[in-house]
């Protein structure tokens, strides 16, 4: 916000400028999240196109062979600074590195929800086709 001189403060203009700054920051964050998500989806699509498992035998941080998917994510992070920064600061990736995306047994509620949603939408899609 810009400071006005000697009482000539236009509050509406300052609020409007603050609003536009917050919208720009939000849009920048959304664009960054979309970029990260598109890279993760590309990794998943790559594994799917070659029928490779998303999970490895041992996905711990000390593992020598965490799996193809995590290897791809590491490769993308080494080539893409935005992805590398995201992996370093994201809390989701701290527990099992990809707890949310790889659906471990103790966190499979999301996978179950997705499968139910897909199962309810298939008949609707068949009726439309």
**Per-residue pLDDT reduced to its tens digit, 47-86:** 999 998 887 777 666 777 778 888 898 899 999 999 999 9
Per the confidence metrics, is the pTM higher than 0.85? no
Per DSSP, the three-state class of 54 is coil
- Among residues 44, 68, 48, 47, which one has the least CA distance to residue 56? 68
Token pair in block for residue 117: 């949603």
CA distance 36 to 92: 13
């Amino acid at each position: 916000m810009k400071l006005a001189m000697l009482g000539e403060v236009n509050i509406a203009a300052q609020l409007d400028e603050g609003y536009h700054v917050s919208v720009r920051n939000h849009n920048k964050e959304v664009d960054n999240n979309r970029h990260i998500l598109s890279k993760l989806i590309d990794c998943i699509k790559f594994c799917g196109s070659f029928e490779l498992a998303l999970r490895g035998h041992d996905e711990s941080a000390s593992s020598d062979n965490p799996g193809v998917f995590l290897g791809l994510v590491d490769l993308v992070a080494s080539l893409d600074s935005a992805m590398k920064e995201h992996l370093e600061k994201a809390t989701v990736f701290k527990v099992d590195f990809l707890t949310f995306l790889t659906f471990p047994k103790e966190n499979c509620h999301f996978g179950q929800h997705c499968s139910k949603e897909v199962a309810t939408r298939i008949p609707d899609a068949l009726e439309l086709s």
